[in-house]
Amino acid sequence: MESEDVEDLICDLTDAALEHLEGVGDVSRAVSMALDEYEKDITGNREEVRKQVAQRVDERLPDQFEYEIVHHPNQGIGIAVQTGCPQCGHEDIFNGSLTHSPAQFVGMTVDRGELQDIEGADIGDGTTLCFIDDADVSLDFVTCGLCGAELETA
Ligand SMILES: [Zn+2]
């Protein structure tokens, strides 16, 4: 095989592996899936190709998880994810816990139909609905929603 062909193949395999990674969240599995897909095109040493593709995939992944805590009047508190999970690149779903300290709750007028009643409390017309208006928020613990990597620990 010509060296440009090898380079093209490695690029195609890397793209394919990155695509699989979004679904499986595991680099070595994603690389294996890409190699299986391009099985007939790989004429050289399969292990060498695997190593090179895995390295390229790794280079494309973020070095560390970077985020900022943001507030939205309707969506509430969220995170602006600058770089996704360093293990799998995922940037859409995260699991974690956060602390409000201190939080100020202020009475607000909201559509009661949209209210999600967490504790099953009885919310009548005379109930005042107070929501967190301003607070210092810190994330105590965050894991990747796809591969489960621990991204932030207190
Ligand atoms: Zn992940």
Average pLDDT, the chain: 90
Distance 92 CA to ligand 1 centre (A): 10
Distance 8 CA to ligand 1 centre (A): 27
Could you read off the pLDDT of 65-94 as tens digits, one per residue?
999 988 887 787 889 999 999 999 999 999
Could you tell me the two tokens for 61?
């992944």
Tell me what percent of the residues of the chain surpass a pLDDT of 70: 99
Q: Which residues contact residue 87 at a Cβ distance below 8 angstroms, ignoring those fewer than 6 apart?
A: 25, 27, 61, 144, 147, 149
For the ranges 17-26, 77-86, 87-96, 124-133, the lowest mean pLDDT is seen at: 124-133
| pLDDT confidence band for 110 (50 / 70 / 90) | confident
Average pLDDT over residues 4-28: 95
Q: Is the dihedral of CA 69, 72, 77, 83 positive or negative?
A: negative
Q: What is the pLDDT of residue 1?
A: 60
The full set of domain ranges for the chain reads 3-60, 66-153
Q: Is the dihedral of CA 117, 119, 124, 128 positive or negative?
A: negative
Q: Is the dihedral of CA 48, 50, 51, 53 positive or negative?
A: positive
Distance 45 CA to ligand 1 centre (A): 29
Measured CA to CA, the distance from residue 152 to residue 121 in angstroms comes to 33
Distance 84 CA to ligand 1 centre (A): 8
| pLDDT confidence band for 150 (50 / 70 / 90) | very high
Distance 70 CA to ligand 1 centre (A): 21
Q: Which residues surround ligand 1, an ion (CB under 5 A)?
A: 85, 87-88, 90, 144, 146-147, 149
Distance 93 CA to ligand 1 centre (A): 9
Measured CA to CA, the distance from residue 81 to residue 84 in angstroms comes to 6
